Every structure is written in C-alpha cells, then in structure tokens.
Structure 1
C-alpha cells in the first residue's frame, strides 16, 4: 500500500495544460508520510485549484485522528460506511514517485516507483472536511488504490489509482462516474531499491530517493 510519497517542484500549469489557481504553495518532500499536510488539486467553478489537505481521511464524526485511513480501496468504497458518497468529493495528488516495501524471505526492502525521467504524475484521492471548532476546519484526504497491474504486482499487491494529466478536470468533475476501472492510466513506471534512510520519515534529504541498485522499467 502506498504510504510514502516523493513530491518535487513542478510547473503545474504546464504539466496539466491548464491554469491552476494556487491557494496554497506546493508542498514538497523527498519522504512524505501520512499525518502531514500535502498539496491536493480540486475543481472549483470549472477551475483547477491547488490547496493543502491533511493526509488522513477524517469524517466529522471521527474522534481519534490517528485512526484516519490514508488510503482507500477503490473497488470497495461503496461497502464502507466511512466512505459513503466519498467519490462526490474528489481530489488529485501531484507527485513524482512513491515508495513500496517488498517482502523478501527475511526482511522488507524499500523501492521507489517513479515514471521515466522522474516526471510528475497524479494520484486520485477523496477528501472530506474536518471541523476543529464551530468556525474553523481543515480538509483531509485519502489516496485511492487499486490492485496492481501485471508489472507492479512484483513489488506490491496494490498500487495508487493514476489519472492522466489531460483527464484531470474531467475526472474531478465527472461525479456520476463511480466506476473508475476505465479511468486508470496504464503508464510506464521505473522501479529501483533505495536505502533504509526511507524508513524514517524525518529523513528528508535527496539521498533518500537515490538508487542503491539497478533501475529497471515495468511495461
């Protein structure tokens, strides 16, 4: 399950081929963990906006924020009371990679999963508003995951739902479509092992992302 992100600077207007209203500056990190604020894209009045959201889906009734899920299985959203009507509030998380831990016989090894040339891509998410008082609130979100494709199944059983940049506005606004099977991008990804620095989210240097072994491509 995708539980750590790589988010590097990106020209969103160029990447999305559309003007983006920047309400909150892009939050970058070489080792972004859940329970932090992350930049999310949403559609408001037919315009893409960049805001910040807390990575941990927190409905109004949730009492313990540590219990907030950071990922949700897209194929079973309708079965979970927490995610009832969740697809009516969609977001996208711009990033340039994520980490997965592959199980070996005696230990897990961390891998970075990235597009060729470390290009940015979009992960689908759902968001909800969590009130902190009668007049204050913050927005929270979870990533959407799906069973891994034939390539990435070698690393993990699940992968994030990836949306093509040109489909961003359509996916965010097409709230009547609850079947995401045909919207998931079938993109190429590279994968390479990284050091144990990634195991500690406080390690935020670029060294966390550096390969310690061969980089190979899944197609």
Structure 2
C-alpha cells in the first residue's frame, strides 16, 4: 500500500517534467498523509493551435477517493489506494478508471516493514525514493463527490500493484509508477479504455527504487520537516534465550 509520500521538488522543475504544466509555486511537503490535499495532473481541455506543449492541468484533490454514488461519506471507508488488479471491475473505481485517470507527482513514498512478533524485530519505517533522484508519477484516480446541497469535493486515490523484488522484503504492495513516455496514454481517457492501459499498471523494475530506513517520526502528521529523510541505524530486539526441555535436554524455541 501507500500511506504517506512526499513531494519536495520545485514547482519550476515540476512544470518542466510535465511539459509546461500550468502550476503555481508550492512549498516542499515531506509528510503527505491521507485526507490532506494532494497535487494531481489531469488531461486539459485543449491548448491553442500550434502549441507544442502537452495539454495538462494541475489540480488539488483530497487524498481519499469517494465514489460519486456514495450518499454519506461519513459512512464510507476512506479509499486512499486502489488495487490495480481489480480497479477496472470494482464499483468504487470503475468510473474513475474509465473517465478520470490522473498522475500524482511524488519525490518518493514511505513504507513500514512490520515483521512477525516472534522474529524479534521492531517495525521499521523506510523512505523509498528513485535511485537516480528526481520526481516520479504515481498512477492515480480522481472522483468528484457532490453533496445534496450542491457542494463538490474532488477526491483521489493511488493505484498499487504487487511489490517488485527490491521492495517485497519491506511490503508486498507498492504504488504503480507511470513513466514519462506513458504520461499521455495514461491520461487519455477519450481514446484509451481501461483495458488498453493495463500494461502500464505493472511493478517498476527491481532496481528503480532505493529504500532508506528512517525514524518513526513520520507516523505523526505534525512532523513535516526534511529531517524525516535522515537515515537511521536499524535496531533489532535481542533474541530471547532458548528454553531447555527438562525431560529430554533438547533445545526448544517454544
């Protein structure tokens, strides 16, 4: 899954990466959490004739998708992630997969390794970023929920897939990464049906990311500084001494 991420690249660099994206300046964000506003890139409504720039717009949405058919969001679970394997057919995501696919810029994401209690290891947070640096684009979905009084809320979710070999030791899921050469195809909901972009929803290559152990301060949304990315030394709990059976003198782990 993806429960926290960061976007620390400058708005100028982001405009370049997304081909002239119309975007205001924004501060670096080191700890983006569910229900907070997130920046998403959507297909635009058409540029002037002769423009050689991609037709894209940036908007803010709440992280946590609410399908249009939901009557009361308070009684509906917060959908921060959507499984790529089932999103096409699942009622909560079907319409967004067909009509509102988006890109979610990120500098990287956080993941927690939660080992079994008997392993003697503590849960460990990791900052996972592109090995070569820069920004990435998660595959995302967007939905606009309208209340009975006519007010609207734009919401979004990140698509996830099975973890690759580089991440699977930490977690069994990871965000879907869309490569720059595939931006236009992913965003094109007019000519590209969901089944035609299934090939884009695959785990990124095994060596694409590097995972850096960091402190558990990222668990608190109030912590928002660059110190969240500082590496820490992984500490393991001391192994419990093996017990001896009084009847046969053999060692036992139980």
Question: Smaller-chain TM-score range?
Answer: 0.7 to 0.9
Post-superposition CA distance 1:7-63 (Å, at most 9, x none): 1133123223x11122x6546411111011110000022511111000000123141
| TM-score, L = length of structure 1 | 0.87
Instruction: Give the count of matched residue pairs.
Output: 212
Deviation of 1:151 (Å): 1.8
Partner SS state of residue 142, structure 1: strand
Partner Cα separation in structure 2 for residue 151 and residue 99 of structure 1? 14
What is aligned with 1:196?
Answer: 216
What is aligned with 1:12?
Answer: 14
Partner Cα separation in structure 2 for residue 179 and residue 146 of structure 1? 17
Partner Cα separation in structure 2 for residue 28 and residue 62 of structure 1? 35
- 1:137-152 map, 5 Å: 137-152=152-167
Partner Cα separation in structure 2 for residue 93 and residue 213 of structure 1? 31
Larger Rg: 2
Q: Could you say if the C-alpha distance between residues 152 and 48 of structure 1 is closer, same or farther in structure 2, counting changes exceeding 3 Å? A: same
Deviation of 1:117 (Å): 4.6
Deviation of 1:133 (Å): 5.3
In structure 2, the gaps of 5 or more residues are: 47-54, 235-254
What is aligned with 1:36?
Answer: 36
Q: Could you say if the C-alpha distance between residues 90 and 170 of structure 1 is closer, same or farther in structure 2, counting changes exceeding 3 Å? A: same
What is aligned with 1:3?
Answer: 3
What is aligned with 1:176?
Answer: 193
| TM-score, L = length of structure 2 | 0.76
Tell me if the contact between 2:36 and 2:62 (Cα under 8 Å) persists in the aligned partners.
yes
